[in-house]
Structure 1
Amino acid sequence: MKPFRISLRAAFVCALALAAVAAHAAGVDLAVMFIHHPDVALGLAGLGMLGETRDVTMDEVKAALEKIKESVKEQAEKALHEAKSSGELSKKTKEVVDETLIKFNELQADVRDLEKKMVDRRGGEPERQKSYGEQLTESDSFKRYVENGKQGSMKLELKAVTSANAGGLIRPLYEAEPVGLPKRRFTIRDLLPVVPITTSSVDYPKQQSRTNNAATVAEGAAKPYSDYVWTNATAPVRTIAHLAKLTRQAMDDAPRLVGEVDSEMRYGLGLVEEAQILNGNGTGQNLSGIITQATAYAAPITIASPTSIDMLRLAMLQGAMAFFPATGIVLSMADWARIELTKTTEGAYLFASPQGTTENRLWGLPVVDTPAMEVDKFLVGNFQIGATLYDRMGVEVLISTENADDFEKNLATMRCEERLALAVKRPAAFVYGDFGLVT
């Protein structure tokens, strides 16, 4: 057990003095006997009680206490026996003796509390040093000063607290909440209908052309034929996945860190998913995204010097004329900020007030501003009927210690993946264009 510095001389002398008072009240002078009793002397000398304070262990303190306890008990019982034999035992003497034993028991309790504090102290760290403020407010002098109505003066000697000492004594605060990097919100998925599936692909019939020859005909004349061409389309299920390593110690010691890594991995999938929904080129294991299949912007009507706001309205018209009225607009964050900052000739903002907030809407449609959209580009479309997102397997996170050499290195592998398919069924429902503001 690690030694600690303690001054118990006053405490033991007090205990012995109380025992002596009890003996004296009983008519027996035991003061000399107590201080020269072999066990008591051995206990005091063993702890340096007859000299200066030194480093002692708790075991030494307990051993000395036990010796003194036996001596106090033996001499007190002897005093009471002699007093009772002589008939001189009084009620007052008994009360003094009882009080002596109570005081001694309290001393033992104090030592037990000290021992408990030492055992509870983590890693054998020294007890935290009290600050000047704590020394002041916890002192008896200050308490008496307050009880006296804070009148008069107060004298108090404070123990020095140096930065060198305090630095080693103050235990650091450990925050369990991990501090992660900022994350962007995902919104493209929210624009689309999402359908769960259990197959490895989605097959659907898709109309390729329409030749409408409907006409008025005379009675008995042949009716014209219209021509409709359909084809079979397939949206394959693709997997988005990644891995991460965790140490066993991190999993045991910081369970919230495991949750944070889980969140980061799900976020990583979301980043790729949103980019694939918009910009997937359909090659290899990539999805066939909306932008790569969308109809190019071509203004249905001509207006003088069209602004970005004008162009978005014309794109909506283009979709409506193709019988796909738009349900949403996708812009980069920079382009939406530029539109929000548009002012009238008097300097007033068209869309929002700097003192308040407004919903992201333009021409009655919700505006999704996302970093996944390239600056100076826009996408306007009917997301409800133009495309469908199919979930084959939702985001799944698994942890295993049986990957590669994880077992021998005390590591765990976390795997996060999802499986999904995207079908852009009506490319004409989407209009993709360039503002032409960035060269």
Structure 2
Amino acid sequence: MPEVLEFPALKEAQGKLDNVNAKLAEIFDEAGQAYDLSKVKCIRGTSHEKAAEIRKLNDEATDLGRQVDNLVQVQKAAERTRSAQEGRETGDGADRDEHERERGKPQKSFGQLFTESAAYKQKQGRTGPESTLDIHLKTLLSESAGWAPPTVRTGRVVDYATRPIQVVDLIPQTTTSNTAVTYMEETTFTNAAAETDEGGTYPEAALALTEKSSLVRKIAVFLPVTDEQLEDVGQVQGYVDNRLPFMVRQRLDGQILNGNGTAPNLRGLLNVVGIQTQAKGSDPVPDAVYKALVKVRVTGRAIPNAVVMHPTDWQNIRLLRTADGIYIWGNPSDAGPERIWGLQVAQTDAFTSAGTSLVGDFANYIELAVRRGIDVQVSNSHSTYFVEGKQALRADMRAALVPYRPAAFCTVTGL
């Protein structure tokens, strides 16, 4: 991985966020499991005044968290620019193809369909006796015995209610041209550096490296469609081009958390050996989350930047109240920050069940290495599709999930 650039503004913002978080942690620790603000001694005032101070600190942590997120993105952009410059100087580069989608022809309006119909053209200019003749018809020309009025759909398709994609966007993406991402991990670091007398023996350090590898896996799906659908309905091609890639990305989103690593599955973060865990126990939920963040910092030596949580678990946090009924995460009339301890919260029901959340440094110590991006193809060579007038539309991608430092992530259980 490229050397991290020094960024004083990021360091300053992170320091301010840590100070605010430490203050909030002290307050919650004194309030205890029941959130009894009367027990809080580190801030003065009534319960309402203390609750207002907590909201003020929480808003400050939210603002600082956004600043840290923005500055991290600036730092990443600077690092990518430097890497790209170094690549140009050494002759490396990659070409990117741009794909354009064919747009369907616009449908005719209702007025156009009506005025161009044979019935309307025959009716034009006919008056007098013919109109009288119509009155004496035994069968009334109505919708039930004549032409039903034409209808035109709006073109909108209401998507099926399914799980949105939440986790993929947290993880940096790179490309690979290999079938596996292989790298070296420093598995032994013994720092024997010590003060030494003149002429004394130098203390001996120890370093050891181990080769690690994450295999590229394929996620695929296909859909049978008749020739007539593709020919007669211009919207079908665009609709399928949208939904099939979504299916692939939704599956990838779930694999990032739950993949068991058995071929052809990716190994998701929840099944990576070495990931840390923090049980809630008798702690308030915010305390348990904060303890997990500390584990990521102290043991994982990383900077956590996001919390992934089941929607019902986040609901329990959003509805937290003090002993005298004051909402901690903001009044019901407020939108409320989707952040905790200044970090963004990604809500997803990709977890197999509620009760477990995941915190970690998603920006630096995990990577999605894409061997081939999502590709959509059409063919009638599948099975007997050629003689049946069918097409097989397929979409797939190949990628490897690379958790560089498992200890940079920690689950929070028992929520």
CA contact (8 A) 1:177 1:256 kept: no
Q: Which runs of 5+ in 1 are unaligned?
A: 1-116, 131-138, 141-156
In structure 2, relative to structure 1, the CA distance for the partners of 1:279 and 1:350 (3 Å cut) is same
- Displacement of 1:191 after TM fit? 1.6
Partner of residue 270, structure 2: 291
Q: Per-residue CA shift, 1:370-393, capped at 9, x if unaligned?
A: 111231001111112221110111
CA distance in structure 1 between the partners assigned to 2:331 and 2:164 by the alignment: 24
Partner of residue 320 from structure 1, selected from 281, 297, 320: 297
AA partner of residue 286 (structure 2): I
Q: Equivalent residues in 2 for 1:271-286 (5 A)? A: 271-286=250-265
CA contact (8 A) 1:176 1:254 kept: no
Q: Per-residue CA shift, 1:254-280, capped at 9, x if unaligned?
A: 121222222221111112101111121
CA contact (8 A) 1:398 1:414 kept: yes
Matched, 1:331 2:309: yes
In structure 2, relative to structure 1, the CA distance for the partners of 1:414 and 1:214 (3 Å cut) is same
CA distance in structure 2 between the partners assigned to 1:402 and 1:173 by the alignment: 35
CA distance in structure 2 between the partners assigned to 1:277 and 1:217 by the alignment: 49
CA distance in structure 2 between the partners assigned to 1:415 and 1:169 by the alignment: 39
Matched, 1:165 2:145: yes
AA partner of residue 328 (structure 1): A
CA contact (8 A) 1:316 1:380 kept: yes
- Displacement of 1:209 after TM fit? 2.6
Partner of residue 243 from structure 1, selected from 210, 222, 232: 222
Partner of residue 44, structure 2: none
In structure 2, relative to structure 1, the CA distance for the partners of 1:176 and 1:342 (3 Å cut) is same
Q: Greater share of helix residues, 1 or 2? A: 1
Q: Equivalent residues in 2 for 1:6-85 (5 A)? A: none
CA contact (8 A) 1:127 1:169 kept: no
CA distance in structure 1 between the partners assigned to 2:401 and 2:307 by the alignment: 19
AA partner of residue 173 (structure 2): V
Matched, 1:347 2:343: no
Partner of residue 255, structure 1: 234
Aligned to 1:164, what secondary structure does the other structure show?
A: coil
* CA-based RMSD: 3.0
Partner of residue 363 from structure 1, selected from 311, 334, 341: 341
Partner of residue 309 from structure 1, selected from 268, 286, 301: 286
CA contact (8 A) 2:296 2:407 kept: yes
- Displacement of 1:163 after TM fit? 6.2
Matched, 1:405 2:401: no
Q: Per-residue CA shift, 1:385-432, capped at 9, x if unaligned?
A: 221110111111111122222221111110100011111110110011
Aligned to 1:297, what secondary structure does the other structure show?
A: strand
CA contact (8 A) 1:239 1:419 kept: yes
AA partner of residue 297 (structure 1): T
Q: Which runs of 5+ in 2 are unaligned?
A: 1-112, 129-134
CA contact (8 A) 1:250 1:257 kept: yes
CA distance in structure 2 between the partners assigned to 1:391 and 1:227 by the alignment: 35
State the percentage of identical aligned residues.
27
CA distance in structure 1 between the partners assigned to 2:265 and 2:169 by the alignment: 20
Q: Per-residue CA shift, 1:171-216, capped at 9, x if unaligned?
A: 3333433333124332322222211122221110011232222222
- Displacement of 1:325 after TM fit? 2.3
- Displacement of 1:118 after TM fit? 11
In structure 2, relative to structure 1, the CA distance for the partners of 1:165 and 1:344 (3 Å cut) is farther
Q: Per-residue CA shift, 1:107-147, capped at 9, x if unaligned?
A: xxxxxxxxxx999537xxx669x9xxxxxxxx99xxxxxxx
CA contact (8 A) 1:193 1:384 kept: yes
CA distance in structure 2 between the partners assigned to 1:412 and 1:227 by the alignment: 61
Deviates more, 1:322-331 or 1:422-431: 322-331
CA distance in structure 1 between the partners assigned to 2:247 and 2:114 by the alignment: 47
Partner of residue 64, structure 1: none
